[in-house]
Amino acid sequence: MKKPAALFILGTLLAVGAPWSAAVNRGEDKTADSRERRLSLGLGMSLGAFNSCPAFNLSAVFPVTSRLSAEAEFAYHFNPAEDEPNPPPDYHRSSAALGLSLSGLFALREPGGPVTPYIGLGAGAFFLSILTDRPPAEREIQSRRRLAAVLLGGILVPFGTRAGLCLEARQHVLSGGDGLVLRLSAAVFAAF
């Protein structure tokens, strides 16, 4: 892992961990929901332009009002073996995408119940890379950047005072004619 990425992840964990630990130690007794700041770590499947590949995401959500929140998300999509019709022997192609997005989330009902449904709208950017190996020793790397509109919806299911599960469908509409990316994911979240 490159040094800036490691420092970013470490800084994020420290910034989130300190207030979360303090809140837990105060013994606050309430249900984790969309009225609190949340940090989520998820795993999902990307469909569409990324050919059904796994995706990992990390997001931070900050409440604006009781039903409206702002979200920043970092996602990584990896396709270890892209499909290629009639590939030559020893031919291999893989792809990866790094996505960054900012979204507004709206809870469809007042948070605090056993399930809180929400919808969202946002914008982001994708950094795409495709690696192609051709025999005997030819390697080609293509990179490109795309802007994306983001539409999403999901549900929050709290598991007590400080944690829960988030099930979500997120549609990215990529610029440059690169198509649509639908990500279905499940994430655990910590409220702080």
**Structural domain boundaries in the chain:** 3-191
Question: Could you read off the pLDDT of 77-136 as tens digits, one per residue?
Answer: 888 876 666 667 777 778 888 999 999 999 998 887 889 999 999 999 999 888 887 776
Length of the chain: 192
Picking from 152, 50, 52, the residue whose alpha carbon sits closest to that of residue 101 is 152
Integer angstrom CA distances of residue 106 from 26, 117, 168, 184: 29, 9, 13, 19
Whether residue 136 is preceded by a cis peptide bond, meaning omega within 30 degrees of 0, is: yes
What six digits make up the tokens of 68? 């409206």
* Chain mean pLDDT for the chain: 81
CATH 2.40.160.20 for the 3-191 domain, yes or no: yes
